[in-house]
Amino acid sequence: MSNLLATAPNTGTVVSVRGSVVDARFPQKLPAYLNRLNAGEEGRVVVEVIAHLSEAVIRGIALTPTSGLARGAPVVDLGCPLQVPVGPALLGRMFNVFGDPVDQGDPLGEVAWRSIHQAAVPLVQQSTQSEILATGIKVIDVLAPLERGGKNPQTGKRG
């Protein structure tokens, strides 16, 4: 993600903060829908653009806590939607919602990053056959098999 700000960043300022809803003014260029913004002095608040309120103001949803974020704070448009790493190098690893490793493992190195917003698989390519989901728990697989893609009950003590 180091190449996200290769060009001059599109910057703006926070207009208002109401809970997790953040409005920001961008005088030069309005960020696109679903773009990722970093707000605050250190860019610690991650915001996703959800609406264009006017020719210069956007509304976004904060995906991290907004405590300390105030009017006039800087906002940087990263020019792309939220992205996560993909590929075989990620198997067995743990990541947060932003694709950052949280398992103290080796750095990711060169992996592909994809937007979290993707087009749905066309209906003609979707499977309509019923398949059994192998859980690896013999009691469930034999006595109460689960259908892949269906609603599966959660077992365990409630309350």
| Domain CATH for 47 | 2.40.10.170
Domain shared by 68 and 91, yes or no: no
The residues, any chain, with a CB within 8 Å of residue 24's CB and separated by 6 or more, are 12, 13, 14, 15, 37, 39, 47, 57, 58, 60, 75
Specify the number of domains making up the chain: 2
Domain shared by 113 and 67, yes or no: no
Domain assignment present for 155: no
User: How far is the CA of 94 from the CAs of 69, 83, 104, 108, in angstroms?
Assistant: 29, 16, 9, 11
Mean of pLDDT values over 112-122: 91
Q: What is the pLDDT of residue 7?
A: 67
Q: What is the pTM of this model?
A: 0.72
Q: What is the pLDDT of residue 2?
A: 46
Q: What is the pLDDT of residue 158?
A: 60
How many angstroms separate the CA atoms of 28 and 123, rounded? 41
User: In which domain, by residue range, is 50 found?
Assistant: 10-81
Last residue of a domain, one of 60, 81, 102: 81
Domain assignment present for 113: yes
Q: Which residue did the predictor score with more confidence, 134 or 49? A: 49
Domain assignment present for 147: no
